[in-house]
Amino acid sequence: MNTSVFQTPIDYLKGTGTARAEVLKKDLGIFTFEDLLRHFPFKYIDRTRFYKIRDIQPELPHVQVIARLTHKEILGEKHTKRLVAQVQDDTGVMELAWFQGIKWVEKSLIVGKAYIIFGKPGSFNGKAQMAHPELEQYSPEILKRKGNLTLQPAYNSTEKLKQFSLDSKGLQKLVAGLLEQHAKDIHENLPLYLRQKFKLIDRADAYRQIHFPESPEQLYEAEHRLKFEELFFIQLKLLRNKLLRTHKFKGNIFEKVGDYFNTFYQHKIPFPLTNAQKRVLKEIRIDTQRGVQMNRLLQGDVGSGKTVVALMSMLLAIDNGFQTCMMAPTEILANQHYASLKSLVGDDFVEIALLTGSTPKKARKVLHEQLASGQLKILIGTHALIEDAVQFQNLGFVVIDEQHRFGVEQRAKLWRKSVIPPHVLVMTATPIPRTLAMTLYGDLDVSVIDELPAGRKPIETKHFYESQRLVMFGFMRQQIALGRQVYVVYPLIQESEKLDLKNLEDGANTLSYEFPLPEYRISIVHGKLSATEKDFEMQRFVKGETQIMVATTVIEVGVNVPNASVMIIENAERFGLSQLHQLRGRVGRGAEQSYCILMSSQKLSREGKVRLETMVRTNNGFEISEIDLQLRGPGNIEGTQQSGVLDLKLANLATDQELLLQARKAVEDIFAQDPQLALPENQVLQLAFQVKNAGLSWDKIS
Ligand code: ADP
Ligand code: MG
């Protein structure tokens, strides 16, 4: 198989000298033939229609006319120098103008000849005009030769590239040349039966048609094929990794349910588990008996009770003689987990310790010893856990909270702390859309807690405009009179940190005026405070000494105050949906009816409106995450940016859900039948893996 042609440096392509190649590399990241072939058009311009000069409106994005050149002339001096020409058809006259490349264009224009003229129309002194149009001499043959080429590709270019004549048109020529020479070297990488089943066109055709579609149908076919391929190979890789892992890594077997688990379940747990929690525990129990390493994603809405499931899984591990740990992305969150696990298990039950960046050296040393001796059973912490100095006697179970903030590499580091890799349970903070989960965590099994603990009253959410602020204050007074506590949260966006802080300070001032001492007390927490100050203020609120907590989003994760039943979010339009949902999840943890009030300015963007309306309409985090994906696209969902998995060139996880499900299903079916990819019809897929092992990424060409 010819894998090398497309790896040829772009310098060697006909039409690119060293200078052009350098700019292609620098400005567009095009280093090889392959990169150029995968520099897809960002849009297509319809060239089916020919306009009459009379019908040209300056508002039209592009027009194409056939007209005869009647005059040309170079005007002006030096920097006012320009080439002006006149063309005419049977309906009117239009002026063409050039400000660059004047000499060269002037020479090529022949008065009396007819041209196909294409460009963005404008007007000058009330006359139709076009600057820097594309020109081609007209002849009936040329129209015929163009056939039904109707969609002209438009490529991203840069100012610098344009200086090297590599504007959209110039790039088009390069791509055309490359395809002419090497389309035959684009090898099919999907088995025929798949192509038939999913109606996918041939790969080389797809590349040809995506650059130069002759009709909208051809463009659709090409995109469809290439998107499928893109999604298919990601899934192939994920599911193959999963398969390999299952074969390669033995897993610790948790044979029994022992004293720790049973004592907790029978005597300590303060509530009955929901059916969903029980189901997930059962799934974990089954996983940990199979002798294969578990890698499971636990999804559940805010407040659905993931923590207790994690704890009970850890107790199961301890019952079988293993140590466990839980890793959280921030120190606040690690502290919070530590506190809630401690309070769940009570005193003198099982050894739990906390390890973060702020753990003093001395204490650290003690921890290290207790870990090495196996005395310490549960360790909670931040990424401090993965440091080399942290050595377990026998780590058997790992919980990773909000894993999307950790890299895959960090996950793997934890594994290596044990000869047989520990079972891994990954928890997300808020639900993520199905397609995103399938791509980001596609190599994991998934458990879902889709039920909230009984007796929870759904949080009531209201949207108030600035003009209704006094109503909101009235509501706060009423709730505080009932003995409740209130959060008031301000957005914190890094670029304008100063401004945000001022917002918060102004807000706090207004509040202290509206809610004066001694009747009311206010805690204020923001990023500029030291950890001690923050903690002090938080504790006052936790203990009920203050009724109002004014904060930036530092409280987003990690605060649990059941008596706080009102969440007020200022400038709510500036928050993303998942953040709003997570903030709202801070209330509704006690027995009382809880409220979330979204304050916004009068003026809202369309998207801002959808976000706030969604929040008012539903409490369902899964539904909210889907809408978030539709609104913002996959690249902007929190935590996905650093993930290369989502570096999709064509497919879009928001709009191509159906296609992803098809691709996933196709891969599952293949592995179910032929896990080794040994069947002759699957040879092309096997090859794709070999290409990958040769160091080429095989979601690409070759
Ligand atoms: P999350 O899934 O957001 O991490 P938590 O585990 O923090 O949720 O649980 C939220 C609150 O619900 C905690 O106060 C927890 O003690 C409580 N909780 C968990 N499970 C149940 C249950 N089955 N019944 C009642 N309360 C529960
Ligand atoms: Mg939690």
Q: Are residues 411 and 553 in the same domain?
A: no
If you take atom 17 of ligand 1, which residue's CA is the nearest one? 305
Q: Are residues 311 and 438 in the same domain?
A: yes
Residue 698 falls within a domain, yes or no?
no
Q: What does pLDDT average to over the chain?
A: 88
**Interior angle at CA 533, CA 527 and CA 538, nearest 5:** 85
Q: Are residues 537 and 559 in the same domain?
A: yes
What value does the mean pLDDT take over residues 626-646?
Answer: 67
Parent domain of 104:
49-149
CA-560 nearest atom, ligand 1: 14
Query: Of 600, 618, 636, at which residue does a domain stop?
Result: 618
Q: Are residues 399 and 278 in the same domain?
A: yes
CB within 8 A of 548, min separation 6: which ones?
A: 476, 480, 485, 486, 487, 488, 511, 515, 520, 521, 522, 523
| Burial of 208: CB neighbours in 10 Å, binned 0-12, 13-18, 19+ | buried
- Can you point out the beta strands (E) in 636-675? none
Q: Are residues 403 and 299 in the same domain?
A: yes
Neighbours of 172 (CB within 10 A): 18
CA-273 nearest atom, ligand 1: 23
At residue 230, does pLDDT exceed 60? Answer: yes
Q: Among residues 472, 696, 508, 479, which one has the least CA distance to residue 590?
A: 479
At residue 274, does pLDDT exceed 90? Answer: yes
Q: Are residues 421 and 321 in the same domain?
A: yes
Cα 373 to Cα 365: distance, rounded to the nearest angstrom: 12
On whether the CB atoms of residues 128 and 95 are closer than 8 A, the answer is: yes
Q: What are φ and ψ of residue 628, in 5° steps?
A: -55, -45
At 696, the pLDDT band (50, 70, 90 cuts) reads very low
Residue 501 falls within a domain, yes or no?
yes
Residue 490 falls within a domain, yes or no?
yes
At residue 488, does pLDDT exceed 90? Answer: yes
What pLDDT was estimated at residue 553? 75
Q: Among residues 172, 161, 182, which one has the least CA distance to residue 41?
A: 172
Task: Determine the residue type at 188.
Answer: E
If you take atom 5 of ligand 1, which residue's CA is the nearest one? 305
Task: Determine the residue type at 80.
Answer: T
Q: Are residues 502 and 473 in the same domain?
A: yes
For the chain, the distance separating the N- and C-terminal CA atoms, rounded to the nearest angstrom, is: 8
The separation between CA 204 and the C-alpha centre of its own chain, rounded to angstroms, equals 30
Residue 662 falls within a domain, yes or no?
no
What value does the mean pLDDT take over residues 380-402?
Answer: 90
What pLDDT was estimated at residue 541? 92
Q: Are residues 270 and 401 in the same domain?
A: yes
369 CB-side CA count, 13 A: 6
The DSSP line for 360-407 is -HHHHHHHHHHHHHT---EEEESGGGGSTT---S-EEEEEEETGGGS-
Q: What is the CATH number of the domain that holds 78?
A: 2.40.50.140
Cα 638 to Cα 39: distance, rounded to the nearest angstrom: 27
146-181, pLDDT tens digit by residue?
A: 654 578 899 999 999 988 889 998 999 999 999 999
Determine the distance separating the centroid of ligand 1 and the alpha carbon of 458, expressed in angstroms.
Answer: 14
Percent of the chain with pLDDT over 90: 58
Residue 251 falls within a domain, yes or no?
no
At residue 249, does pLDDT exceed 60? Answer: yes
What pLDDT was estimated at residue 697? 42
Q: Are residues 525 and 591 in the same domain?
A: yes
Q: What is the CATH number of the domain that holds 584?
A: 3.40.50.300
584-627, pLDDT tens digit by residue?
A: 988 988 788 999 999 999 999 999 999 999 999 999 999 999 99
At residue 689, does pLDDT exceed 90? Answer: no
Q: Establish whether residue 273 lines the binding site of ligand 1, counting it when its CB lies within 6 angstroms of any ligand atom.
A: yes
298-330, pLDDT tens digit by residue?
A: 999 988 999 999 999 999 999 999 999 999 988
**Interior angle at CA 287, CA 282 and CA 292, nearest 5:** 170
At 546, the pLDDT band (50, 70, 90 cuts) reads very high
On whether the CB atoms of residues 341 and 322 are closer than 8 A, the answer is: no
On whether the CB atoms of residues 628 and 576 are closer than 8 A, the answer is: yes
What pLDDT was estimated at residue 649? 86
From 274, 281, 307, the mutation candidate for ligand 1 (largest count of ligand atoms within 8 A of CB) is 307
From 304, 344, 583, 619, the mutation candidate for ligand 1 (largest count of ligand atoms within 8 A of CB) is 304
What pLDDT was estimated at residue 402? 73
CA-310 nearest atom, ligand 1: 6
Query: Of 95, 114, 149, at which residue does a domain stop?
Result: 149
Domain count along the chain: 3
Q: Are residues 358 and 266 in the same domain?
A: yes
- Can you point out the beta strands (E) in 402-494? 423-427, 445-449, 460-465, 485-489
Query: Of 598, 618, 638, at which residue does a domain stop?
Result: 618
At residue 9, does pLDDT exceed 70? Answer: yes
Percent of the chain with pLDDT over 70: 92
What pLDDT was estimated at residue 294? 93
Q: Among residues 392, 393, 410, which one has the least CA distance to residue 401?
A: 410
| Token reading at 565 | 């039943």
**Interior angle at CA 182, CA 177 and CA 185, nearest 5:** 165
Cα 543 to Cα 546: distance, rounded to the nearest angstrom: 8
Residue 555 falls within a domain, yes or no?
yes
What pLDDT was estimated at residue 407? 61
27-51, pLDDT tens digit by residue?
A: 999 999 999 999 999 989 877 788 9
Q: Establish whether residue 590 lines the binding site of ligand 1, counting it when its CB lies within 6 angstroms of any ligand atom.
A: no
Between helix 216-248 and helix 683-693 the angle, nearest 10°, is 70
What pLDDT was estimated at residue 2? 44
Q: Are residues 404 and 526 in the same domain?
A: no
Which ligand is closest to the CA of 301, given by its number?
A: 1
On whether the CB atoms of residues 145 and 89 are closer than 8 A, the answer is: no
What value does the mean pLDDT take over residues 47-56?
Answer: 86
Q: Are residues 441 and 489 in the same domain?
A: no
If you take atom 20 of ligand 1, which residue's CA is the nearest one? 305
6-10, 162-166, 585-589, 642-646: least confident range = 642-646
What pLDDT was estimated at residue 694? 45
Residue 432 falls within a domain, yes or no?
yes
On whether the CB atoms of residues 336 and 402 are closer than 8 A, the answer is: no
Residue 508 falls within a domain, yes or no?
yes
What value does the mean pLDDT take over residues 224-251?
Answer: 89
Q: Establish whether residue 582 lines the binding site of ligand 1, counting it when its CB lies within 6 angstroms of any ligand atom.
A: no
